[in-house]
């Protein structure tokens, strides 16, 4: 077997290997490619309040005097009435809300009401509950609650690892959106075994998520919760690169260059 034929054969096998590798690579990189296309019942996405959550609570009502014990700021407008002259209409709103932190027992210490347990409730449930408690004191009471410190952490093989803050008012954030906020996974990230660590009531739970499977939609970890930690492990490529990949590449490139140079010299001398 002559040398040109051998090189041609080697080139064919190299191209075949690259084609097979590219197919395998696609299977490892593409999100949500596996599983049947069907309607799924998604887990509850509503965030439930928990210890150490920082809340901004605003209270308003039609009677500014009744709001005074709750130590909020108020505003009112004076508008012109009919032919009778001026008429005072109180504006149904409170000013800036106050900040409260849910304590280890799940309570906030609210003016007049004292300790109010909000842990375990969704934001809307907390609004309804607090509003019922205040109806005794404030006429036409209006309550608004916002979670101020909704954050999560992304570590490992992502482009921008670190702590990410969720915008105030956002109550639904998926694992895919969380990873997008971290700049998406690097090509060296393992997509079929992403670790999510969640702590609830002092108990840590670990979830292993396959981002390449549509079964991800049904996972209880599909929606992000406060203080979740997401870790993306390195894949085989990253581990290989972490050893002596560059050294092997340089040696291989040098050997191929020497081989081609020798072949060219032999061909020219014939």
Flag whether 41 is in a domain.
no
What does the H/E/C string look like for the chain?
CCHHHHHHHHHHHHHHHHHHHHHHHHHHHCCCCECCCCCCCCCCCCCECCCCCEEEEEEECCCHHHHHHHCCCECCEEEECCCCCEEEECCCCECCCEEEECCCCCEEEECCCEEEECCCCEHHHHHHHHHHHHCCCCCCCEEEEEECCCEEEEEECECCCEEEECCCCCCCCEHHHHHHHCCCECCCECCCCEEEEEEECCEEEEEEECCCEHHHHHCCCCECCCCCEEEECECHHHHHHCCCHHHHHHHHHHHHHHHHHHHHHHHHHC
Flag whether 229 is in a domain.
yes
Residues 136 and 155 grouped into a single domain:
no
- Give the list of residues 6+ apart from residue 42 with CB closer than 8 angstroms, or none: 217, 218, 222
Least confident range of 26-40, 104-118, 126-140: 26-40
Flag whether 141 is in a domain.
yes
- Residue 166 domain boundaries: 150-234
Whether the predicted pLDDT of 123 surpasses 80: yes
Residues 134 and 59 grouped into a single domain:
yes
Note the pLDDT of residue 61: 83
Residues 142 and 63 grouped into a single domain:
yes
Residues 131 and 59 grouped into a single domain:
yes
Distance, CA of 77 to CA of 232 (rounded, Å):
55
Choice between 116 and 247, residue whose per-residue pLDDT is larger: 116
Residues 142 and 157 grouped into a single domain:
no
Note the pLDDT of residue 30: 79
What is the pTM for the complete model shown?
0.70
Choice between 105 and 9, residue whose per-residue pLDDT is larger: 105
Residues 225 and 270 grouped into a single domain:
no
- Give the list of residues 6+ apart from residue 90 with CB closer than 8 angstroms, or none: 62, 63, 64, 76
Residues 142 and 61 grouped into a single domain:
yes
Residues 129 and 200 grouped into a single domain:
no
Judged on CB neighbours under 10 Å (0-12, 13-18, 19+), 4 is exposed
Flag whether 81 is in a domain.
no
- Among 107, 123, 147, where does a domain finish? 147
Choice between 74 and 196, residue whose per-residue pLDDT is larger: 196
Domain with residue 202: its CATH number is 3.10.560.10
Note the pLDDT of residue 85: 29
The answer to whether 61 touches 67, Cβ cutoff 8 Å, is yes
Domain with residue 138: its CATH number is 3.30.1950.10
Flag whether 12 is in a domain.
no
pLDDT tens-place string over residues 100-117: 999 999 999 999 999 999
Residues 190 and 162 grouped into a single domain:
yes
Residues 62 and 136 grouped into a single domain:
yes
Flag whether 43 is in a domain.
no
Residues 58 and 138 grouped into a single domain:
yes
Flag whether 1 is in a domain.
no
Flag whether 206 is in a domain.
yes
Mean pLDDT of the region 22-46 = 63
The answer to whether 182 touches 164, Cβ cutoff 8 Å, is yes
Note the pLDDT of residue 67: 83
Q: Based on the structure, what is the number of domains in the chain?
A: 3
pLDDT tens-place string over residues 133-157: 999 998 889 999 999 999 999 999 9
Residues 58 and 118 grouped into a single domain:
yes
Cα 129–chain centre separation: 28
In the chain, % of residues over pLDDT 90? 50
């Amino acid at each position: 077997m002559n040398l040109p034929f051998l090189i041609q054969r080697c080139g064919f096998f190299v191209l075949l290997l690259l084609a097979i590798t590219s197919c395998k690579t696609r299977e490892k990189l593409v999100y949500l490619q596996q599983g049947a296309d069907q309607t799924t019942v998604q887990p509850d996405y509503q965030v439930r309040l928990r210890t150490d959550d920082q809340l901004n609570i605003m209270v308003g009502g039609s009677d500014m005097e009744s709001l005074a014990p709750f130590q909020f700021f108020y505003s009112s407008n004076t508008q012109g009435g009919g032919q009778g002259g001026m008429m005072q209409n109180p504006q149904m709103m409170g000013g800036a809300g106050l900040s409260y932190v849910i304590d280890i027992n799940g309570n906030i210490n609210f003016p007049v009401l004292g300790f109010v347990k909000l842990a375990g409730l969704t934001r809307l449930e907390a609004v309804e509950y607090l509003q019922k408690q205040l109806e005794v004191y404030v006429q036409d009471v209006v309550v608004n609650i916002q979670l101020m410190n909704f954050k999560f952490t992304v570590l490992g093989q992502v482009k921008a690892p670190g702590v990410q803050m969720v915008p105030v008012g956002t109550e639904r954030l998926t694992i895919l959106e969380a990873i997008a906020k971290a700049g998406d996974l690097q090509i060296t990230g393992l997509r079929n075994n992403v670790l999510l660590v969640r702590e609830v009531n002092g108990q840590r739970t670990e979830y292993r998520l396959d981002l390449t499977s549509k079964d991800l939609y049904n996972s209880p970890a599909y929606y992000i919760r406060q203080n979740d930690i997401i870790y993306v492990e390195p894949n085989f490529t990253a581990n290989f690169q972490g050893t002596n990949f560059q050294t092997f590449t340089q040696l291989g490139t040098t050997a191929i260059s020497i081989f081609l140079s020798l072949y060219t010299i032999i061909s020219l001398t014939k």
